[in-house]
Amino acid sequence: MTRFRIGDRGRPPEHWGSALGFVLAASGSAVGLGNLWGFAYRASQGGGAAFVLLYLLIVLLVCLPVLVAEMVLGRSTGHAPLLAPVTAGGRRWAPLGWLYMAAATGILSYYAVLMGWTGRTLLHALADGLPGDMAAAQTFFASISSGGDAVLGHLLSLALTGVVVAAGIRGGIERLSRWGMPLLFLMLLGLLLWASTLPETAAGYRTFLLRWDAAKLLDPATIRNAFTQAFFSIGTGIGAILAYAAYLERRSPIPREAASVVAMDTAVGLMAGCVTFPVVASFGLGDVVSGSTVGTLFIALPTGLASLGLSGRLVAVVFFALAYIAAITSAVSLLEVPTSSLMDRLGWSRRRTTWLLVLLIAVLGLPSALDVGVLERMDAVFGGVVLISGGLGLALLLGWGAPARFLQDLRQSGSSDALVRPLLWALRWLSPPAITVGLVVSVLDLARSWSG
């Protein structure tokens, strides 16, 4: 199979500086606000240990094969997300490419708003300190999540994302991930040690992560939360990793790389939960978080930390700085989807494409910046249902539409049949039915929550 290479006006085609660079960038895409804020928010909606268990099962049995398929599709075609499905499966797969473009653009439009909140909270913790009580925290959150502050945070975060993407794969995205990911991991380890010294650590885990209620395994809201969290956190299903894999050299061992990304992402999600829940439980804020909304963590965490004085403030600074680094390495992967697609399709230069898209997404994100209700709906649609459909499309394309491509690419890069066969089997027989169930339950649950 000869590969196409996404070009930029006569310059040599781009590629990663090293295999490690790709893995770091892909982990950077996976580890994001979804791990820090999404995991805590969804885990505290009542599912408890059943949610955690379902989430882990979906990650391992469903998302991992889909992630491998996504990487194979990118590497074997050399095309960006818009054209890769057509190249692999023919004309009738064209809508899948458009779905990727729409989903990545839609997700980034509100993700940048969340980044803005994160950055604003960081600055506040640095410059002014933390809100003294719950009421002050609520007032502060209301001020950053609406009006001029929210719009400004959204625009600045998007611009920063644009700077990295415009600088290219090696000079922008890989460079950022190389220092960002190790730093993030160190900061998280530090926070974890600190959290283990809090008085209510065990109670925090018991309340949110370990409370077992078998009936929750069949609860539609828990199932939707687990599917959404798994796909969103790994960041598979809409071509972000596909876009990265298109710049990959032929030889790297994709299954192993995918496993590293999944392990890293899951570890960070669990570690972050181990930091946030003790804080929340230690300071008697449990009720605020159960049945939480997107804003809860931004209210509960600073309030809890404020009661610790200066050390709490320091922890808040580290936590929100870490969250911002995690967010930007994810946002760049989302922006790379439409950017590489338009470069690929129209032959535009990287710079021009990036900034045009930043402009478009800035406008699309305004409603989310101005109204948290809109942001929540965007998340439920693009970061939930559309994302999961994209994952289904991927499994069907490589499992059934072009299985020969899947086998050939992995074999050529040295993966043994003992590994490739079970992966293909999962992609054909496990992922599609499981995702279909998850999708149907999610759509029904979403419709119920909107009508109720």
Q: Which residues bind ligand TRP (CB under 6 A)?
A: 29-30, 32-35, 107, 232-233, 235, 237-238, 240, 330, 333-334, 387
CA-closest candidate to residue 166, choices 176, 155, 180:
176
Query: Quick one: which H or E segment has residue 160?
Result: helix 147-166
Helix (H, G, I), strand (E, B), or coil: what is residue 5?
coil
- Least distance (Å) between residue 436 CB and ligand TRP: 19
Q: What are phi and psi of 16, to 5 degrees?
A: -70, 150
Closest CB to ligand TRP among 296 and 330?
Answer: 330
Instruction: Specify which residues 39 forms β-bridges with.
Output: none
- Least distance (Å) between residue 334 CB and ligand TRP: 5
Closest CB to ligand TRP among 35 and 109?
Answer: 35
Please answer whether residues 130 and 312 qualify as being in contact, where contact means their C-beta atoms are separated by less than 8 angstroms.
yes
Q: Which residues contact 212 (CB under 8 A, 6 or more apart)?
A: 48, 49, 50
Closest CB to ligand TRP among 52 and 424?
Answer: 52
- Least distance (Å) between residue 197 CB and ligand TRP: 27
Closest CB to ligand TRP among 59 and 426?
Answer: 59
Q: What is the DSSP letter of 13?
A: P
| Whole-number Å distance between alpha carbons of 27 and 425 | 25
- Least distance (Å) between residue 51 CB and ligand TRP: 16
- Least distance (Å) between residue 110 CB and ligand TRP: 11
Give me the helices (H) in 215-309, please.
220-234, 240-245, 254-282, 286-289, 296-306
Please answer whether residues 81 and 333 qualify as being in contact, where contact means their C-beta atoms are separated by less than 8 angstroms.
no
- Least distance (Å) between residue 55 CB and ligand TRP: 13
Query: What is the CB-side half-sphere exposure of residue 25 using CA atoms within 13 A?
Result: 32
Closest CB to ligand TRP among 117 and 232?
Answer: 232
10 Å Cβ neighbour count for 152? 15
Closest CB to ligand TRP among 330 and 415?
Answer: 330
